[in-house]
Structure 1
Amino acid sequence: MDLRQVFAANLRRFRNAKGLSQEDLAYEAGVNRTYMSKLEQGGTFVGLEIISKLAEVLEVEAAEFLKPPPKRVRKKPF
């Protein structure tokens, strides 16, 4: 998983945990909604200023965006 994908996965996870839509997060952070979509898809690089804005709105440390997301534990069927 490259760094853009790590960022994208964490951005989606943090946004969903706050119950925000992409549009709401984009508005609160002062960024374009289309750009927000590209960030969540891992389709573009993000700058430090945008990371800072997103971290503030989502109430997380900026460095959390770059940490590998926790592994999902799949339940085994009986």
Structure 2
Amino acid sequence: MGFNKEVFAANLRAARAALDMSQEELAKAVGVSKDAIVKYESGEGYTPGADKIIAICHVVRKSPNELMGWKETA
């Protein structure tokens, strides 16, 4: 259950689009640059730290598991 940049990128793009939020708006809400969001969403950029992932989850109203594409276990 590792970090897959491509899955995270696709889930982040979808979550942001579902909220009809621009990359700039997401960046401001999370406290990062727009460039960071562009890189996160491309799947080719750097890996966000845990603090940024939690901030993103809070803004897009998704759990870390949802954004990472991980299955919940009982």
Q: TM-score scaled by structure 1?
A: 0.80
SS at match of 1:31: coil
SS at match of 1:20: coil
Q: TM-score scaled by structure 2?
A: 0.84
Q: Which runs of 5+ in 2 are unaligned?
A: none
Q: Match for residue 10 of structure 1? A: 11
* Residues matched between the structures, number: 67
1:62 aligns with 2:60: no
Cα drift, residue 25 of structure 1: 0.3
What is the root-mean-square deviation of aligned Cα atoms in Å? 1.4
CA displacement 1:7-58 (0-9 Å, x = unmatched): 0000000000000000000001111110110000012212111110000011
Q: Which runs of 5+ in 1 are unaligned?
A: 69-78
